A and B are shown apart, each in its own frame.
Chain A
Amino acid sequence: MSEAIHTTVDAKGLSCPMPIVKTAQAAKNVPAGELIEVLATDPGSVKDFAAWTRSTGNAIVEQSEDGGVYRFVIKRA
């Protein structure tokens, strides 16, 4: 298992539901245990990604905000 980012999803500027939909689409091609990085500017994505990971079993391993850009690192289940 590598700690490097496997796939980055740039969802900056996108509104609900596209950050989640794009991440789910990208996740299909990410093997279990690998990391997905998501960049989003939708403030609602903080709660939405928490809910999405609970629903799908994926895990947020890192989360930060910098200048209005939210960054989530999600480990693929």
Chain B
Amino acid sequence: MTTETAAPAAIDADAETKLTEAIAAASQAEASTPGAQRQLVIINWSGEYDKVMPTLIMASVAAASGYKAQVFLTFWGLLPFVKDEKRITGENWMQKMLSTMQRPGISHLKMSKMNFLGMGPWMIGKLSQQYNVASPKELLEACQLMGVEFLPCQMTMDMFGLKREDMIDGLGEPVGAATVLELMTEERTASLFI
């Protein structure tokens, strides 16, 4: 619901330009205040529902709060970022078998505890609906809309035989540990391993 205010007809174009310039200068001043922009770096190692959720929640709120938010997707934590509709991924039989044991995609997350052959995630899904908690898919969309950067781990991509076209759109370039270490040790940066 958006309420549009009436156009300020009295303000002439010149004053408006000055105002725009002043706002731009002010926001620039804000950006250059002592210390760099605050950052949140998350190493998303787990592919389980109850761990991917806090990753997405923290990342979306960080981005919403003006932080630069970056999420490194490694090991099991990369699999939720495969397209939902991909069923079997990988090139050799072991990679293919792994993808059948843990179906990839953000809508197919298992729980780290109380999975009980899918009963756990089903009940959590029901409770989430009842209490209006966003689904992992909705949170991922919010993250991407807010500008959270997701960085796939190159080594994990290779090991699971995942190709760029297997992955959801909008991911960053695959990177390695050195890149993440550099991000984690930047100023005003909070780092989490989830």
Interface hits, A51-72 → B, CB 8 Å: 51-52, 55-57
Say which residue of B4, B5, B26, B64 sits within 8 Å of A21 (CB atoms).
B64
The reply to whether B65 and A15 contact each other, CB–CB distance below 8 Å, is no
Interface hits, B47-67 → A, CB 8 Å: 57, 60-61, 63-67
* Cα separation A18 to B53 with both chains bound (whole Å): 13
* Cα separation A10 to B132 with both chains bound (whole Å): 14
The reply to whether A15 and B133 contact each other, CB–CB distance below 8 Å, is yes
The reply to whether B60 and A21 contact each other, CB–CB distance below 8 Å, is yes
Q: CB of B142 within 8 A of chain A?
A: yes
CB A31 to nearest CB in B, in angstroms, measures 8
Q: A24-B65, A24-B146 are in contact. Are A17 and B1 (CB under 8 A)?
A: no
* Cα separation A51 to B67 with both chains bound (whole Å): 13
The residue on A at minimum CB distance from B145 is A25
Q: A4-B5, A6-B5 are in contact. Are A15 and B146 (CB under 8 A)?
A: no
The reply to whether B66 and A17 contact each other, CB–CB distance below 8 Å, is no
Chain B 100-130 interface mask (CB, 8 Å, partner A; 1/0): 0000000000000000000000000000000
CB A60 to nearest CB in B, in angstroms, measures 14
**Interface bracket on B:** 20 to 34
Q: CB of B131 within 8 A of chain A?
A: yes
CB neighbours (8 Å) of B67 from chain A are 55
* Cα separation A36 to B193 with both chains bound (whole Å): 35
* Cα separation A25 to B30 with both chains bound (whole Å): 20
Which of A15, A24, A34 gathers most chain B CB within 10 Å?
Answer: A24
Residues of A within 8 A of B (CB): 2, 4-8, 10, 13-18, 20-21, 23-25, 29, 31-32, 34, 51-52, 55-57, 77
Residues of B within 8 A of A (CB): 1-5, 23, 26, 30, 38, 57, 60-61, 63-67, 131-134, 139, 142, 145-146
Contacts A13-B132, A14-B132, A14-B134 supplied; 9 other A-B pairs, CB < 8 Å: A6-B2, A7-B2, A8-B1, A15-B134, A17-B64, A17-B139, A24-B146, A25-B145, A34-B5
